[in-house]
Amino acid sequence: KEFSVDQIQIIRDMPLSKTPEITHLIQLMLDTGMRVSECCGLMVKDIKLEAETPYLEIYRNNVRELKTKNSRRLIPLVGSSLSAMQEAVERASGDFIFPRYVDESSGSIKENNASAACKKRLIALLGKDSPTSHGLRHTLQTRLRNVECPKELRNELSGWAKDISDRYGSPSDLKLKAKYLACLLYTSPSPRDAT
């Protein structure tokens, strides 16, 4: 189930909750399409805010596995994801961006806890029929298709394939990825909005 344009705007505008990590987590997924598990394992050092094109790096670390080898990637930060990470890095007091969802002693993340917290927050914002946080990932794909982002870039951003980097030996230029993600800040229709 995908999010509508109106729902996306509500998520963009939502105030910090009593638990800021939940707001940051949802807003990060909104404009990156990251999996909940990928978000939970983010470390402060993975967020590159000072780069010409701010981005984050996803890779396997001591608490987070990756779903596939293609899940290792760089994702530009724009819109809600950028502001969420700026605030989260500023608030961080340890190594992890979302420490409440990390269990360092067992070397794991609390993905189910994070998903449940996001679901509760989304229902509070959008009502009981709200799509889940996983719907943010699907919605991003639709939004990218609607701004004519090439399939190779969509796949690379989502960690499904590295067609471009397989051919050329390095990830696609961050500026190119950021260009398409930035388009989503101004136009983000989904099929639900056409009906």
Q: Under 8 Å CB-to-CB from 96, ≥6 apart: which residues?
A: 41, 42, 43, 44, 63, 102
Residue-wise pLDDT for 19-70, tens only, equals 899 999 999 999 999 999 999 999 999 999 999 999 999 888 888 777 666 6
Number of Cβ within 10 Å of residue 18's Cβ equals 6
**Residues 160-182, mean pLDDT to the nearest whole number:** 66
Taking a C-beta distance cutoff of 8 angstroms, is the pair 16, 121 a contact? no
Rounded to two decimals, the pTM is 0.85
Q: Mapping DSSP to helix (H, G, I), strand (E, B) and coil, where does residue 108 land?
A: strand
